[in-house]
Amino acid sequence: CNLTGWWENDLGSKMQVFKVSNDGTFSGEYHTTVSSAKKPIQPSPLIGSQHLDEDGQCTFGFTVNWKKFSDSTAVFVGQCFNEDDGKEVLHTSWLLREKVDSETDDWKSTR
């Protein structure tokens, strides 16, 4: 699976991976369409790592720092699958950590 290029999810958010190095590390930008922040959404930097596998159905993970418009950080993990028609599809799960004002509010900080 070649992660380099543009990817779009079911909600219209887009990710651009600039280049995957020989050791599997990559960087890019995430263009989300979903946010609870009060500031306008902006493209956000991402950095990640891909497990390069011989069968092409690799696992990967990346972190997005929403620092341009939000006090939160998200981590994504996933796997690339090659469908019967040759199309590459990514399946991911994510966690988002929002900044809270106190330790007692920690319980509501992660989605």
- pLDDT at residue number 86: 83
Q: Is residue 108 part of a domain?
A: no
Return phi, psi of residue 13, to 5°: -70, 145
Our count of domains for the chain comes to 1
**CATH number of the structural domain spanning residue 25:** 2.40.128.30
Q: Is the model more confident about 78 or about 38?
A: 78
| Banded model confidence at residue 34, pLDDT cuts 50, 70, 90 | confident
Domain that holds residue 21: 5-99
Q: Is residue 107 part of a domain?
A: no
Return phi, psi of residue 108, to 5°: -105, 15
pLDDT, tens only, 44-99: 999 999 998 777 678 999 999 999 889 899 999 999 998 889 889 999 999 999 99
- pLDDT at residue number 56: 65
